[in-house]
Structure 1
Amino acid sequence: MAIAKERIELNIQLIIGSIREGRRGRSIGEWAYETAAARGDMSVELIDLKEWNLPMFDLAKPPIRGEYENRLQQLWADKIKEADGYLFISPEYNHSYTSALKNAVDYLYDEWGRKPAGFIGYGPTGGIRGIEQLRLVLIELKMAALGNALHLMRVHEKIENNRFNGDEHDVANLNYVLDDLLWWSKALHEARNIQ
């Protein structure tokens, strides 16, 4: 007799890593959110670092201790803890990712751990070098930084009225990244619950 497994609703957070004026990350994030939500196989949430407005990390206690005395840091920890996986959306700045995203990642430690991270990079080279830099940092936080990523080039040609319009190739690649992210999210969710 087969035992039916309970269906798990996984929560995937899409994190927009650019906060500058005139950014393209918001429209790319909204497009990715709509595409992911339309699938119906995960719960998705769009998180915009510009709305969180995290000041540069200067708190006395290192996040690795998990002792959050700062109210905003605790709110950020509570929000990030809700997710089973993350899709980071970041442009490439000088062969790396944004300082705002680095700052947001550095605010916490345990909340990121043992969860997968997928990526959307954009810029002249599709954000490839920036995503590579981000992977190294996330691995240090005990995350499963996935090898697959969506690299968008010439995004300015696909934005009209502040709306990103990904082509068929972009949609197919995003779904490939989401499939991978969902698989790892489920596997690591189950592993965390066994411990």
Structure 2
Amino acid sequence: MAHIDYYFATISPYTYLAGTRLEEVAAKHGATITYKPLDIMGLFARTGGTPPKDRHPNRQEWRLQEMTRQAKKLGLALNIKPAHWPTNMAPSAYAIIAAQDAGGGDLGQLVHGLTSACWAGEKDIAQDDVIKDCLSAAGFDPSLADSGLLQGAETYARNLEDAVAAGAFGAPFYITDADQRFWGQDRIDDLDAHLAGKL
């Protein structure tokens, strides 16, 4: 059975644009997923990336155009300048880590719910009530937002180290157990083809 390590950031627009397509591909091929939310700014700093606000204006302008095009192509609502971005990623990441440990809900829906709250819902995903609403909507106990904070912090930090060691440098980033690496929501079709033995 194939396995995918999924590195992502809850404030990443491209993680939002991925929707739940990774989960659909994994289900199609009987693959398992380990969700590894991380500090994307920390990953940029460690792997030669540049935060969006520090990029050349040409790159910033292209990024906004590309996000708009991709959202239209995927039929997803998107505010390219959301009211609560950037925000503290850690609380939402801790909730995902706690939910993965607890089980019983839909992790793909939780990640999409949180990213959607940021990029389409104009909500601050660092806020406890927003996180609890997303946990509930994905079938998890909302009290998970209040538990396991120390373990969440440790796992969150370890996910960054794991990402660097595994060769990731952006989000979303998918790495298979065969060490095939796919960067970006626009490479999910390539991941699908790889798992099918075509790539």
Higher relative CO (Cα under 8 Å, sequence separation at least 6) belongs to 2
Structure with greater strand share of residues: 1
TM-score normalised according to structure 1 size: 0.27
Structure with greater helix share of residues: 2
TM-score normalised according to structure 2 size: 0.26
